[in-house]
Amino acid sequence: MIAAPSRTPVGRFAALVEQRLGLHYDPPQWGELESLLTERASGSGVEKYLEQLASTPSPAEWKALAERLTVGETYFLRHPTQLETLVDQVLPSFLRQTPHVRVLCAGCSTGEEPYSVALLARERGRVDASRLRVMGIDVNPRAIAHARRACYSPWSLRAVPLAMREQWFQRTPEGFALRPQLREQVVFEERNLLEESAAFWAPNSFHAIFFRNVVLYFPPEVIRKIIARMAQALVPGGYLFLGPSETLRGISEDFELLRGGDAFYYRLRPPAPPAPLAVPPSAAPQRAASSVSAPVFTPPTPPPPLEGLDGVLQLLEAERYAEAGTLLESLSQATQPMGLLLRAVLHLHAGRLSQAEQLGRQLATASATEAPAHYLLGLCLEQFGDERGARGRYAAAVRADPTFALGQLRAGTLARRAGDVVEARVGLRMALSMLPQEKPLYLALFGGGFGRHGLMQVVLQELQACTENS
C-alpha cells in the first residue's frame, strides 16, 4: 500500500515519491527527504512546489529527483556465483533452442552488472558473443549516462582479476574505460519500473532477468507488480536472479527456487495444466498408492535481524547500505569508535571519499580501530590514484594487526603492480596462509562480496601474475 499522505510537507513529499518512483521512506528516514525538499523548493516555496509536483508533474523534475534518491552501490563481478551460473548453465541451455539469448538487468545503476554479464560470457567461453543481447535499465538518467560512457574507477573494478582488467579495460586519465567490443554489446535505457509498457514487457522478451539488490527499496505491493511484469516478459522456463539476501516468499508463486553451488535463483514455473474432467468413481482406473513423493527444496531461513552495531554490520555485509545507515544514525553507539568505523565504511561505499578519509584519520589514532582505519585510508588513497600512499597505509594496517590478511593482500597486489615482485610474493603468501583465520569483522567490512574461498582464489591469481611477470 502506498504510504498514506501526511499533513506535514515532508510526509506529503514522501507519499509523492513513493507514488511516482516506488521508493518507500519510513518516518525515521524523512530527514533525507526534508533536506532535498527544502533544496528543490527554494525558488517557489515548499507548499507551491508540492502542489505543482502533485498536479502537473514535470518529467524533468522527477528525473532530477530520481538522480538524487536512487543510490548506485555496485561494482563489477558482484555476487560472482550467480553470474557464473548464468553464463555456464542458463544461457547455454537456451542457445540449444534459439539463435539469440536476451538478458535484462533491471535497476542497473551505472552499468557494472550488465557489462559483467557480457564480460564473463566472453571469459568463460560458453556463450557466443554474437548470440548474446544484454540490456540495462534504470530510472536515474545520470547513472544511465555514466553506463553509456563506460569509464570506471579502480574501486568499481576491485573484484576484477588483473588479467581480465588488462584484457577488457584501457587505462585513461579518468579511470578504466571498457574496450569498444565489450561496451557495444550492451544497450541502456532510462526506464521507470513503475510505468507500464506493454511493448517492453511483452511475452518472450527475455531469457533471464537480473533484479538484484533493488527489492529492498520498494514496498511489497510495488514489488508484486514489478515481479508479475517480469514473469510475463520471460520466455517459458526463464530465470530471475535476485540479490542473495532477497526472496520471493510472500511476493510471487510464479517461480521455483533453485540452487547451483552457492548461487540461489528462480525459474519461471510452467503454466498449470487444465483441471481434468470429473470421472465417475466406477470408471476411474485403480492405481496403487505411491508412498514416494517428489523432494521439496526448502530455502534456508534467513537469520533473525540483529540489534545495535551488530545489526548495522549484518546489513552492511548484506550490502543493504541505506538501511545500515538509517539504523546506525538511530543508535547511541554511533559516536563510539566502532560506530564511527561503520559510518566511514558506509561513506566509502557511497563514494563520499573525503568524509571517509576524515573519519579514517581520526580512527587511526584509536587502538581498537587502528588497523581497519589504516586499511580504509588505503582504499581511499587508491581511489584518489595514490597507490604508493595506499601501500603505506596497508603496511600500517598490518603493523597494527599482524594477522590482517586483507591488508597483506592489498599490499601485495599493489607491490606487484609497482614491479616489486619479491615483496609482492611475500605479502600474498602471508595473505594466503592467514585468510582461513581472517577476522569476520574485516571480511564483512572489506571483503567486497567475496568469502574466504573467493579471496583465496584472488590471492592465487595474483601470485600467478607475479610468476608470469618475473
Q: What are the tens digits of pLDDT across the range 419-437?
A: 888 899 999 999 988 988 8
What is the rounded average pLDDT for all residues in the chain? 83
Q: Are 348 and 376 in contact (CB under 8 A)?
A: yes
7 or 275, which is more confident: 7
* Lowest mean per-residue pLDDT among 237-251, 310-324, 376-390, 395-409: 310-324
Alpha helices in 151-213 (DSSP H): 162-168, 180-183
Q: Quote the pLDDT of residue 220.
A: 82
Computed on alpha carbons and rounded to an integer, the radius of gyration of the chain in Å comes to 25
Measure the CA angle with vertex 39, ends 37 and 41; round to 5°.
65
Q: Are 214 and 113 in contact (CB under 8 A)?
A: no
How far lies 195's CA from each of 4, 56, 111, 222, 226, in Å?
A: 21, 17, 21, 11, 10
Instruction: List beta partners, residue 246.
Output: none
Task: Work out the pLDDT band at 3, boundaries 50, 70, 90.
Answer: very low
Mean pLDDT across 292-298: 44
Kindly write down the DSSP assignment for every residue of 53-85, as one continuous string. Answer: HHHS--HHHHHHHHHHH------TT-SHHHHHH
User: Residue 241 half-sphere exposure, CB side, CA atoms within 13 Å?
Assistant: 28
Shortest CA distance to 222 belongs to which of 241, 194, 255, 254?
194
Residue 178 has pLDDT above 90, yes or no: yes
Q: Quote the pLDDT of residue 63.
A: 67
Residue 103 has pLDDT above 90, yes or no: yes
Q: What is the pLDDT of residues 120-148, one digit of tens each?
A: 999 988 888 889 999 999 988 888 999 99
Instruction: State phi, psi for 240 to the nearest 5 degrees.
Output: -130, 130
Buried b (16+ CB within 10 A) or exposed e, 426-456: ebbebbbebbeebeeebbebbbbebeeebbb
Buried b (16+ CB within 10 A) or exposed e, 131-151: ebbbbbbbbbebbbebbeebb
Residue 14 has pLDDT above 60, yes or no: yes
Q: Are 407 and 421 in contact (CB under 8 A)?
A: no
Question: What are the residues whose beta carbons fall under 8 Å from the beta carbon of 353, sequence distance 6 or more?
Answer: 347, 380, 383, 384
Q: Which domains does the chain have, with CATH numbers?
A: 9-69 (no CATH), 80-268 (3.40.50.150), 317-469 (1.25.40.10)
Kindly write down the DSSP assignment for every residue of 296-336, as one continuous string. Answer: ---PPPPPPPP-HHHHHHHHHHTT-HHHHHHHHHT-GGGGS
Shortest CA distance to 23 belongs to which of 57, 76, 66, 84?
66
Q: What is the pLDDT of residues 184-215, one digit of tens each?
A: 999 999 998 888 888 899 999 999 999 998 77
Mean pLDDT across 95-115: 93
Helix axes 421-434, 452-469, angle to 10 degrees: 160
The backbone region for 308, taken as left when phi is positive above 0, alpha when psi lies in -120 to 50, beta otherwise, is: left
Q: Can you give the pTM of this predicted structure? A: 0.58
